[in-house]
Amino acid sequence: MNPYAIRAIYTFEMARAFRTLTQSIASPVLSTSLYFVVFGAAIGARMGEIEGVSYGAFIIPGLIMLALLNESISNASFGIYMPKWSGTIYELLSAPVSFVEVVIGYVGAAATKSVILGVLILATARLFVDYQIAHPLWMICFLALTAVTFSLFGFIIGIWADGFEKLQIIPLMIVTPLTFLGGSFYSISMLPPIWQKITLFNPVVYLISGFRWSFYGIADVSVAVSLGMTLLFMLSCLAAVWWIFRTGYRLKN
């Protein structure tokens, strides 16, 4: 393990984020704050409680997860795509650095930025809604695990993409709709029975359910299942990354 290589990649990626604070941090926080104003304060004031939790507080985990998934994918995919686009990826591949160190550097930086964003959104939510965190350690665990998992997924997208437009296809057309349909703004127990079963095929349901449980102790699915599904997806992403570096897919040609 080469800690100097990891630190160099990690530091470079974090420095890029701090150079673009408006785009990386301020914009997502502002966008999520508008959700709190519209859904939490305006609409939430006219709605009843969901499983004993006010509507404004109920949607906080879903909104944090929405921002976390999108930003994790965006940070990681853009971070690895830029060396491909500029041609500096060949210097990285020819350097005495293993793929493990490359992944730790890029994914670690992307996950760190996403966790910082999640914490800022959580702090901002306090300005609009009163909420409690029943299991703070589990909340941090789900936050970090989700950030790492989807940063890995974004890393794969960044290698797969051969144009800037492809960096946004999967986040905009797949991840965001799945997040909205995964219980961000409602409990799946409110759906008709047939749709409750269909919704369970949406992997984002397990992420939001587990994260919401860490706040209020309520969940649409078992917490163990939520954790297991997240770990399974992370292991799948790790296997895909290993295959990419082993075969040189979209890296050496």
Q: Is the separation of the CB atoms in 134 and 215 below 8 Å?
A: yes
- Alpha-carbon distance values, 80 to 98, 103, 107, 234, 250 (Å): 15, 9, 9, 18, 12
Q: 211: closest CA among 61, 66, 57?
A: 61
Residue 230 pairs with which residues in a beta bridge? none
Helices (H) and strands (E) in the chain, counts: 13, 0
How far is the C-alpha of 74 from the C-alpha of 68, rounded, in Å? 10
DSSP-derived letter for residue 190 is: G
pLDDT value, residue 73 = 93
Most distant CA pair in the chain, distance: 60
Token pair, residue 168, equals: 């946004």
Handedness of CA 119, 17, 23, 88 (dihedral sign): negative
**What's the pLDDT score for residue 40?**
67
| pLDDT tens for each residue of 137-186 | 999 999 999 999 999 999 999 999 888 888 888 888 888 889 888 888 88
pTM (two decimals): 0.90
Compute mean pLDDT per 10 residues along the chain, 253 residues long, and list them.
86 83 77 77 70 86 91 91 85 84 93 92 87 93 94 94 85 88 87 89 92 93 92 94 88 70
Single out the residue of 180, 165, 166, 218 nearest to residue 69, CA to CA. 180
pLDDT of residue 44: 63
Tokens 């050496």 identify what position? 252
Say how far apart CA 81 and CA 41 lie, in whole Å: 39
Strand partners, 50: 53
199 neighbors 205 (Cβ within 8 angstroms): yes
Determine the residue type at 159. I
Euclidean distance between CA atoms 50 and 224, whole angstroms: 22
pLDDT at 96: 84
Instruction: Quote the pLDDT of residue 156.
Output: 94
